[in-house]
Copies of this chain bind each other. A is one copy, B any other.
């Protein structure tokens, strides 16, 4: 069994989450985790998810996500004596390509274990995972994707033993993308796809998944968690969802991170919505809340307490930021997602004093339009 049973922690045993971040020289570089396993720092049987940022462009033709997934699932499978396929079916590997500007490629390994010790004292980082069934190309962006995502988020909440939606600080979803070849084949077979351009279909999938998260957490009424809202009504959003899409997965893989008294340990998590791409105040406020003393940059000694940071962002759809035009959406040379990741990633890095950030573009229905999300896991102050 490579994933601990998260649903029934024994009475006097708390669960305990841990988070390990490793640099990535190239997308096949799993030396960091390998050494951590050898040294006994990470127990491969306790890994419940991996989230990372790889070297590719983060668009349809980004194969670095699949490459790292293969290498990590083989490493973990080797250590556990199971097949790589078996590993990747049980552990979400959620990778986003694109380390524009100052960002640094890396991956973050999440573990969950039961541990002796009283619970109920203070809330600690809690993690739960779940998978939807496989999605076909014609499910993407549809009501069906909204529904199965909502159901899987509910399962992950149970797994994490998080009692209240208010204790949920980050819901990472990785859903399937499809190449033109697959879209054409589906259309030829009589299926109807939400979009025919592969990149655009990725957007539909992110959007529907975000609405599924919002529905599960009660952030929006069920009446708004509708296909009709997808990429249309941007006032409808989740403030904790972060959704990526990639051709290397076939179902929605979900990692919920929050706080729970059923868990113990040294880690906590907090988040903020970013109202727009320049909303540095939300970043410093979050750092303050975590006791990291931003001034405005977190000093190096405190920055070491950061275990992981997750950012979602997006080029503002009306072509402006605070009234002045940006050019990201007119650019035929560099994709808008690469622009905005490089920009918002740099602002967050400058405050956190840390460049190994998970920064992902395509924030449709994930935070206010033109804005996004920042969530940080850190050692308690």
Contact = CB atoms under 8 A, between A and B. Distances in A.
A297 B281 contact: yes
Interface string A4-27: 000000000000000000010111
Contacts of A197: 329
Interface string A340-376: 1011111101110101100000000000000000000
A278 to B, nearest CB: 5
Contacts of A102: 277-278, 321, 326, 343
B105 A28 contact: no
A192 interface: no
A332 B101 contact: no
Contact of A28 (B59, B63, B322, B332): B63
B278 A28 contact: no
A32 interface: no
Contacts of A132: none
A324 B340 CA distance: 21
Contact of A330 (B198, B318, B321): B198
A99 B280 CA distance: 20
Contacts of A325: 23, 25, 104-105, 181
B27 A332 contact: no
A339 B70 CA distance: 29
Contact of A26 (B66, B278, B318, B319): B66
A61 to B, nearest CB: 5
Interface size band for A = 35 or more
B61 A55 contact: yes
Given A27-B63, A63-B64, A319-B181, A100 B55 contact: no
A291 interface: no
A155 interface: no
Contact of A70 (B28, B284, B351): B28
Contact of A278 (B198, B294, B326, B355): B355
A26 to B, nearest CB: 6
A332 to B, nearest CB: 3
A80 B313 CA distance: 47
B180 A342 contact: no
A296 B277 contact: no
A312 B275 CA distance: 28
Contacts of A277: 101-102, 346
Contacts of A343: 100-102, 342-343, 345-346
A62 to B, nearest CB: 7
Contacts of A57: 332-333
A71 B343 CA distance: 30
Contact of A333 (B321, B329, B333): B333
Contacts of A55: 61, 63, 327
16 contacts: A26-B247, A60-B332, A61-B327, A99-B326, A101-B328, A103-B326, A104-B324, A179-B330, A197-B329, A278-B350, A280-B296, A332-B335, A342-B342, A343-B343, A344-B346, A346-B346
| Top 3 A-B pairs, shortest CB-CB distance | A59-B332, A101-B343, A296-B296
Interface of A: 23, 25-28, 55-64, 66-67, 70-71, 99-105, 179-181, 184, 197-199, 247, 277-278, 280-281, 284, 294-297, 317-322, 324-335, 338-340, 342-347, 349-351, 353, 355-356
